[in-house]
Chains A and B, each alone.
Chain A
Amino acid sequence: MGGAANGGGCRHRTKPHMHKARMWRQRKSIETHGWVLMDDHLTRRECLKRSAGAVIASGVAVWGGIRLADDTTGSEIETVAPPPNFFGKIDFPTSNPRISVALGNEDQVGRLVRSAVSGLDPRAGIKRFISQGDVVLIKPNIGFDRPPYLGATTHPDIVRELVRLCFEAGARKVLVTDHPIESPQACFRRSLIHDAAEAEGATLLLPAPSHFATVAMRNRPPDRRRGEAIGHWPILHRPLAEANKVIGVAPIKDHNLCSASMNLKNWYGLLGGRRNQFHQVIHETISDLASMISPTLMIADATRVMMRSGPTGGRLSDVRPGGLLGRPAVIASVDSVACDAWCYERLLGRDPAKLTYLELAHAKIAAQVAGGWKRINEREWRTYDRLAQIAVQRL
C-alpha cells in the first residue's frame, strides 16, 4: 500500500537507524492489525516542500501586496506638453518675403509649389526650411471623403511636390497625416493624396487611438471671456512628436461656421476626442491652435478655391481656380495670420478685420512673441505689401 511511497522517501534520505525503526514499526503493525500501517509522519522532503511553499506564498503575498498598494485610482490622465515651436528651429532672414504667391495654370501645380517656396527665399529655396536628416510632417486637409476637383481637400499634386522637395532637401522621412471626420482610409484614397504621397516615398500615417495624447495647453480651465477654448485635450500627437519640421498644406475654402477655412483652420484636423463640441467656440479654438502650433512653413492651396457651400462643397460651380484671382495659385508663407488675411481678402473677397479668429490668433501669438517666441505675426498683410515682403510670380 503506502510502503512504496514510504520507502521512496527513505531509500535515499533516511539514515540506517531510522530505517530500521520504521521497519520495526511496520512489522509491529502487521502483527497487530494484519496489514501495514502507513507512517503517519511526513517525509522530510514533503515537510520542507510544504513549509517552504506556505512561507514563500506568504512572502510573495506580502511583497506583492505592498508593491501594488496604491491609494490613488489612477484617474489623473497623463498629459504631454504642447508641441515645440517648429518655426523657431529655422533661421529665417527678417528681410525675406513673408508671403509668396505663385500664379499659373492648372497643369503647373507642381511648379507653382516650387515657385511659391523659392519665392520666400530665392537663394536657398526649400533648403531654408528643410535640412539634411529632417523628419518632416506634412499636414494637408483631408477632412472629407471628396475627390480633389471639388476643392474640399488639399490638391494631391501639391502634396506630391512638397514630398519631393523635402527629400531633395535631404529629409530622412516625410510623414503625411490628417485626422478626418470620415474614415481616414476613404478620405486619403479619394483625395488621391494617398497615392501621391506613397508614390513619392512618404509615410502615410492613418490615425489610430494610440497616436493621440492629451496635451496640456493650459494648466487651468480655459476662460471663455479671454477667448480661450482648450485646456487639456487629446491631439494627434505621435507625428508631432516624431517630426522636427512641420508643413501645413491647406486648401482655401468657404466655411459656414467660421467664414473661411485656411492655414489656421487646418490645425483643427489634429484634434482628437469629441472635437465637434469645439464648434460652439470655433474662433476661440482655431486661435488656440494657432498659438499652440507654430509650423516651419505653410502652403495655401488656391488651385481651386471653394467660394461657397463650405467646408464640404460638392458642386463644381462652388469652386473657382484661384478664387477672385481667376488663375490657380499656391501661396507659401511663414506668417499664418498675415497669409490668412491676404487669402481671405484677395481670394475670397472678404474683410479680414471682421474675421474673429484672426483677431484672436493675432493677439495670442503677439503675447507669445512678446514672451520671447521666435515667430512672425502680422495681422495687417498690407504692412508686408509696403515692405515689399509679398513676392508674386506668374508662370
Chain B
Amino acid sequence: MSATGNNPLSHVLPHPIETAQADLGLLTPQGEITLLSDQIVMMIVAGVLLMLVIPRAVRKRRKDPETGKFVLTGMGNAVEAICTYFRDEVARPALGPYTDRFIKYIWSAFFFVVTINLLGLLPLGTVTPAILGGLHIGGTATANIWVTATLALLTLFLMVFNGLRLGGVDYLKHFMPGPAFLAPLMIFLEVIGLISKTVALALRLFANMVAGHILLAVLISMILTAGQALGTGGGLVIAAIVVASSVAVSMLEIFVAFLQAFIFTYLTTLFIGMSVNVHHDHEEASAH
C-alpha cells in the first residue's frame, strides 16, 4: 500500500503511466492526455487475450463424420453456448430480422466487457508496484467512466446510425409520435430518452465496477486501522473477519462482473432493436 496509502479510491482510480500536455477543452479536463495508464494496459491485455484465445478455441470441432463439423469442443463449445444464448434469447427477440447483422458487435461487446471486468478482479494493483519498481499495473478499465462512456456512445451511434439507415423516415417520424403541435415537446422528450439511455448505460457499468472495488478496499483498509487502534491482537481478529468477508465480496464481484457485462450487452441490444425495428412497430400498430 506504499504508493496508494489508505485511500480506498486509489484502487479504482486510473494511474497514468505516460501523459502528455494537451488542451482540448472538455476532452482533457486535467490539461493533459493519457498516453498509457494501468487501466489501459489491462484493456490491452484483455484485447490481446480475446484475440489470441477465442479464434483458436472456436476452430476445434468434434471428429464425428456427419455432424461433427457443427459441434465445437472444449472452450469453443462454452464460447458457442454463450454466443447461442445471446443470439437466440437476447438478440432475436429484440432485433428480429436484423439479428445476424448486429450479432458480431453484441458478442464482441459482451466478451470485451466481461474480460475487462474479470481481469480487474485480479489484485495486481497491490503487487505490481513492488515488483515493477513503483509501476502500477492493474485495475478495471470498466471502472473508468471514460471507457464505459465510449462504449455507450458506440451504442448510441449504432442506434441513431442504423435507425436512420434501416428505418429512414420512419425512424425520424418516431421522434414525434403525437399530433404536429406537440412535435417540439415530443422530439425534446425522445432526445432526452436517447441521451438518458446512453448515460445510464455508461454509469451503470461504471458504478457497479467502482462500488465493488471500493467496498473491497474499505474492508481491507479496516485491518490496518484496527491494528493501529486496537493493537496487534485486535488487528488480527478484525483481519480474520475482514478476510472472510472479502472472500465473500470477491465471489459476489465475480458474479457482478458477468452480470454487468450481460446487462450492458442486453441493453445495447435492446436499444439498437428499438431503433431499427421502429418501422415494424408502426406496421404492427397500424395492423391492429
Real complex partners, A and B?
no
| Chain B residues proximal to chain A, CB less than 8 Å | none
